[in-house]
Amino acid sequence: MPPRVSGLRLSTFLVTSCLAVPASAATIEVGPADDVEGAIAMLQPGDELVLRGGAYSLSGRFGISIAGTEAMPIVIRSREGEVAHLHRDLADQNIVDIDSADWVVLRGIEFSGGSAGIRVSAATHLTIEGCEVHDTGDVAIRFNDTGARYDSIRIVRNHVHHTNGTGEGMYLGCNSNACQFANGLVEGNYVHHTNQATVEQGDGIELKEGSFNTVIRDNVIHDTHYPCILTYSTVGNGAPNVIERNALWHCGDHGIQSAADAIIRNNVILSAASDGIAMQPHQAGIPSNLVVAHNTVFDSGGAALSLRSNNGSVVIANNALFASTGDALLVVDGDAAMVVVTGNVVEGATSVSSGVVPGDLVRDFVSAGYAGAPPMDPFPKAGGALVGMGDVAYVATDDFNGTARDGVADVGAYKFDPAGNPGWVLAEAPKASGPVPPPPGTDAGVPPPGTDGGTTAAPPDTGSGCGCRVARDDRFIAASALAVATSVLVTLRARRRRARVRAPRARRS
């Protein structure tokens, strides 16, 4: 339970804070020896909690319930140039339980150990940015409480790796539409090794049934136990999801698996234990409302791209599909009249008679093969079958690098450039070419699925604001301290400047 703080001690803290800057927001700095959970509980809109670098050893449940506003989000972050490391030795508790969070930013914090890494029970406009979550006993980041609607969540530029147990890197939403992850952005993350010996499932990123209008882009995912990316259907809840510009390899099942309601474009898939891209029934979803365009796929464990049992519209256009032993393109057991296949270049067998032309691994790529992992450069080679051979009716606005295609129908994930690949080189590292996330409270980084966004936005706001406010929590405030704080606020209302104050130390009970 939260610590008790004496009225005199809290009064001193309040007076010091307000004498420094009485205004609308506070910047508070704490270290490993301080009561971080208590400091978080007192945060108010506009506050910024700065965690000094070092190891924060956790025991007992660590819960967060706070709310900022669109204009004044709450920010919890590591101090500049340092890393705060929240660690839990035992897997009897999650590292952090976010019970409720609205307009909150977690930035640059390392989490390890415990059961789940970050479990979110209720949240809207929550940003998890630049954090590292690793060596968890279970899933790393989870949003899957029954009945919840997780709206406008941003999970950007995090490093997630070496999970155990069920082992997903990110578990977003619930089975059978029991909760929804909506209008989200999952961008620029590096997710790998969700395939430890103890892992039972271990998808890289899993977006569950009923979730909608979420963009999954510019992520690097490799060495997973199950698919690198798995999405279900929206079951009519909203716009389709977008899966674009991701680099995937050593996926333990399919590279990308989707049941319905998705736009899958500009992805590079180097290897998967099963199909590179698989569209197949899953829970209530039957393949329909799917567009698969401009992907580059190499597969030696199954089909490069497969479609099974569709009952609605599916477009397969301008993909480079290369399979060493299986089918390059497999379409079976569905409504063929609802499937458009056009502008694809393939190596391997196909089950369709039109919309494909033969390719050659050596002639078509700068450097590619079936080794299944970098180093390689699957950029189109001059004179190869990928250059200008697609269908102009299905050309995407940009490519894997974010380069504008300008209506040119080059096949696969890249627009051809005679000077060579101008973008990020595939590597075991975060993708360097993704757009910068927008500030909290804007939608610049989440173009509606079905549109072609990618415009670079401004860097995230630090949320630090200006001035200071009385740190307050009803569980802690003594009557005398509140009186003193009120008096100071009235007297010094006109003074406004930033302050760096320290949260009160207190013993845990």
Determine the number of helices (DSSP H) and then strands (DSSP E) in the chain: 4, 40
Q: Is residue 455 part of a domain?
A: no
- Kindly state whether residues 71 and 181 are assigned to the same domain: yes
Q: What are phi and psi of 382, to 5 degrees?
A: -55, 135
In terms of domains, do 83 and 208 share one?
yes
Q: Is residue 11 situated within a structural domain?
A: no
Same domain assignment for residues 151 and 286? no
Using CA atoms, how far residue 109 sits from 9, 131, 446, in Å, is 29, 5, 24
Tell me whether residue 5 is in a domain: no
Specify the CATH number for the domain of residue 38. Answer: 2.160.20.10
Give the pLDDT band (50/70/90) at residue 374. very high
Same domain, 137 and 275: no
Within-domain flag for 122: yes
Indicate the Cα dihedral angle 390, 392, 396, 400, nearest 10°: 30
Contact between residue 238 and residue 211 where contact means Cβ atoms under 8 Å apart: no
Q: How far apart are CA 441 and CA 73, in angstroms?
A: 8
pLDDT of residue 99: 98
135-191 confidence digits (pLDDT tens): 999 999 999 999 999 999 999 999 999 999 999 999 999 999 999 999 999 999 999
Q: Is 95 a residue whose pLDDT tops 50? A: yes
Q: Report yes or no on 448 lying in a domain.
A: no
74 against 490, higher pLDDT = 74
What distance, in Å, lies between the first and last C-alpha atoms of the chain?
Answer: 6
One domain for residues 296 and 191: no
Task: Supply 174's token pair.
Answer: 């619930």
Q: State the total domains in the chain.
A: 2
The reply to whether 253 and 222 lie within a common domain is: no
- Model pTM score: 0.83
Sign of CA dihedral 196, 197, 198, 204: positive
Query: 437 in a domain, yes or no?
Result: no
Report if residue 483 sits inside a domain.
no
Helix ranges, 57-98 (H): none
220-248 pLDDT per residue, tens: 999 999 999 999 999 999 999 999 999 99
With respect to residue 346, please indicate whether it lies within any of the assigned structural domains: yes
Do residues 186 and 256 share a domain? no
Same domain, 256 and 378: yes
Q: What is the mean pLDDT of residues 384-392?
A: 97
Do 303 and 272 reside in the same domain of the chain? yes
User: In whole angstroms, what is the distance from residue 459 CA to residue 438 CA?
Assistant: 6
Do residues 42 and 162 share a domain? Answer: yes
Query: Do 148 and 67 sit in the same domain of this protein?
Result: yes
Nearest residue to 466 via CA among 103, 124, 71: 71
Give the pLDDT score at 160. 98
Q: Which among 123, 5, 104, 99 is positioned nearest to 48, based on CA atoms?
A: 104
Same domain? For 282 and 351 the reply is yes
415-449 residue pLDDT tens: 999 999 999 999 999 998 444 444 344 333 333 33
Q: Which domain holds residue 157?
A: 24-244+461-465
Q: How far apart are CA 37 and CA 57, in angstroms?
A: 12
Tokens standing for residue 54: 């070092």
pLDDT at 507 exceeding the cut of 90: no
Please report the pLDDT score of residue 460 as a whole number. 31
